[in-house]
Structure 1
Amino acid sequence: SIGGGAGHLLSGAILLDGASKLQVASRTAFQSHTYAGSSARALANGAALLNELDSWRPSVRAIEAEIAPIIAALNKACGGAMIAHGHGALWGGLFAHADPMARTAANLAFKRRCAAKRVLPYFVPVGGFMLTPRYDDDPEEFRAALQDMADCALETVEEMGWGDNQLLPVEGPASAAPAPSAARFKGHEADAKSKGGDLDHLDAATPLATPWLASSPLASAARGLGKVCWSETSFSPREAEIAILATAYAYRAGSEWTVHVVEARKAGLIDEHIAAIARGCAPAFAPGSKERAIYAVATDLLEHKRVSSANYAAGVASLGETGMVEIVSIVGYYGYVALTLNTFEIEDPHAPDVCVGEGGRSCAKSPWEADAALVG
């Protein structure tokens, strides 16, 4: 029950069912401030304020007119490293690195710059800012402060120096879709017919890597490593899929993600955990669990090409030395698969197309975007 949606504008509600699922996923149904249980004076004050809101609409429109062009310029200058938007008198921005730790580092640098400029937006814990300016602020002073804050955000992005491949996936306009590239090698047809069995009976992504069949020794070696990584490690299928999905997301390998998200669900990985991985966020695994260690080690390795002392110690404690060797091997093998699928532009033949662009190429959203939206 949200104010205005059910009952009086100052009404609230208690969630009777599903609260545990929301808590595990670190989510709320909505964000709502309620007057439930407040004194009569507070309720009377709130009701009077609601009656005054219409008179403030011109001020809200004036605030939007000041904020919108500065935020638009910030988005353009940041090139996707910060995503900012809003409406009326409520605006916000997010540092868009896929790694939450990188966003935290950016937030600290952003705070230092804002303090030096003597501006104080609301700093959101996930890494960014929120703006809810007072309706009666002096327009000139507000504009100057807002520009100072935007400059601080841009300077922070420039200091971080993030590459495009490190950013959260964001759906762009249809006109921004890349032009079709020339047809790429998919493996010789004769090889596929005569040697296709070399890649069968493994995971669902490996058989898509048909270019390997151009080299029999390579295909044979890959098959051997893939068989071990897929079914002969100390990890359960559910545990292995955590590392595989993290790898597919890190490499932005759509077909690898598409086939393995199916395998992950079969193995028992719940939608809340899949959605978190699809956002580049750590799922809410239990502290000290193998799942938590697997994700931390895999993402650290994928992001930094090495594993920190803290993650290594936690990994050994949860997985053992053998498990650490196995997790590095799984990430390495499925990174190899991802690079092959990306380089030769091999799509999952069973993945549905949302739409078809020029040249017959799919213009669907990246598959992890749909999975990221499973849990709001």
Structure 2
Amino acid sequence: MTDEQRALYEYYTTGPRVAPESPFSLVGPDGRLQGPPAVWILSPGFGHALQQIGSAVRFGSRLPARACEIAILLVGHHHRSAFELYAHTRAGKAAGLSDADLAALADNREPADMSDVEGCVFRTTRAVLDRGTLDDDEFRDAAGLLGEPGLLELVTIVGYYNMVAWQLAVFDVQPAAS
């Protein structure tokens, strides 16, 4: 590895992402990177920038963790992204999604007993994935419930995980065999 690659590798092999309570690991038992970092290490300049965005998206949103995982899982199912689904099924369970919730999301159905925010996140994410935008009423409803900053964060989460799904597909990144 180059020095830049080593620095990126060390970012993923130390700190909170490898803590025992983390719902999934981006480092395999053999020490190899898994998931998006396995590709990002190819171009450390991009890799560092992408991990900064990823960190903000994953750990810095004002939206509840459960709502974020609903959006991420919808993107994962939309793209049939094996690694996203592997990782975020675990993260979704850690955030409080039940097996029934996960099954509903896999079937593109709104899970029962969601909060108003979670329902809004589900409907808004579906609209963005289906049409690439929101109509005026959908925008007003989402901005009214999530606030415009929350809506920006949701759209960014959806866009970021779309990009990740494409990268994983192009480079055929799969979860490690369990």
Q: What TM-score does the superposition give when structure 1 sets the normalisation length? A: 0.40
Q: Which digits, 9 at most, give the CA deviation of each residue in 1:316-344, with x for residues without a partner? A: 12111010000011111111111111111
Kindly indicate whether the alpha-carbon contact (under 8 Å) linking 2:5 and 2:44 is maintained by their aligned counterparts in 1: no
1:230 to 58, 75, 83: 58
1:196: how far off? 1.3
SS of the residue 1:303 aligns to = helix
CA distance in 1, matches of 2:168, 2:10: 18
Structure 2 residue runs of 5 or longer lacking an equivalent are 27-33
Structure with the greater alpha carbon radius of gyration: 1
User: Aligned to 1:269, what secondary structure does the other structure show?
Assistant: coil
**Structure-2 residue corresponding to 1:88:** none
2:71–2:121 CA contact under 8 A, matched in 1 = yes
Q: Which runs of 5 or more structure 1 residues have no equivalent in the other structure?
A: 1-189, 353-376
How is 1:1-376 mapped onto 2 (pairs within 5 angstroms)?
190=1, 194=6, 195-199=8-12, 201-202=16-17, 204=24, 207-209=34-36, 210-286=38-114, 289-349=116-176, 351-352=177-178
**What whole-Å deviation, never above 9, does each CA across 1:49-96 have from its counterpart, x for those lacking one?**
xxxxxxxxxxxxxxxxxxxxxxxxxxxxxxxxxxxxxxxxxxxxxxxx
Cα distance in 2 for partners of 1:301, 1:205 equals 29
SS of the residue corresponding to residue 348 of structure 1 reads coil
- 3-state DSSP of counterpart to 1:281: coil
CA RMSD of aligned residues (A): 2.2
- Residue identity opposite 1:317 in structure 2: G
Query: By percentage of residues, which structure has more helix?
Result: 2
Q: Which amino acid aligns with 1:196?
A: Y
Contact 2:5 / 2:41 at 8 angstroms: preserved in 1? no
> Which has the larger share of strand?
1
- Give me the whole-angstrom Cα distance separating, in 2, the residues matched to 1:248 and 1:263: 13
Q: What is the DSSP-based 3-state SS (H/G/I as helix, E as strand, rest coil) of the residue aligned with 2:41?
A: helix
| C-alpha distance after superposition, 1:197-220 (max 9, x if no partner) | 344545848651212112121011
Percent of residue pairs identical: 25
Partner Cα separation in structure 2 for residue 275 and residue 290 of structure 1 = 20
Cα distance in 2, alignment partners of residues 315 and 227 from structure 1: 24
Structure 2: distance between partners of 1:306 and 1:225: 22
